[in-house]
Amino acid sequence: MYSIWGKKSKEAEAEKKKPKTSAAQIRVQKDLADLDIPNTIQLDFPNPSNILNFNVTICPDEGFYTQGAFKFTFTINNNYPHEPPKVHCTQKIYHPNIDLEGNVCLNILREDWKPVLSLQAVLVGLFYLFLEPNADDPLNKAAAEVLKQNRKLFEANVKKAIVGGSFGGVQYDNVVG
């Protein structure tokens, strides 16, 4: 009888040493399992044991930004889903809703976030920014003004920027995928 108790206490000790799965990790696992995204959105987990930090590449197949491969980091804290993920563009791109530092202006990442929203909603929203940039809620006000005033010039600027062009005193990253 003593050996059984000894074995159980060793198992209990081993169980205590395992890292606990947080509510955020459980929710992210569910969100990832439920994802239904097009092949124009790719996820990459540099550290497969850490699902709270991953990379996303968006390759729009229509609109101004076709031929580009736009890279983002997603950082999810332990308050998810009560707080939205932190999304950051890792490249310098010309976009009204993404500033030159990589900050992203998407309403559901800020004031319109609700815990019922999921990673699916964020990925679709991010993808949609490349199909229909929003000049009415810009982070890059100069790009938004050009989009409002002259769509042809905006398109020309995007085409120049995605191949690593320079204009307006800014050198953009080559993001052609």
Active site residues per annotation: 105
Amino acid at 95: H
**Structural contact between residues 62 and 130, judged by C-beta atoms closer than 8 angstroms:** no
Of 69, 60, 92, whose CA–CA distance to 167 is shortest? 92
Cα-Cα end-to-end distance for the chain: 65
Listed residue (169, 52, 45, 154) closest to 100, CA to CA: 169
Beta bridge partners of 174: 163
C-alpha 95/C-alpha 138 separation (Å) is 9
Instruction: Record the tokens describing residue 66, joined without a space.
Output: 């076709």
Q: Are 64 and 152 in contact (CB under 8 A)?
A: no
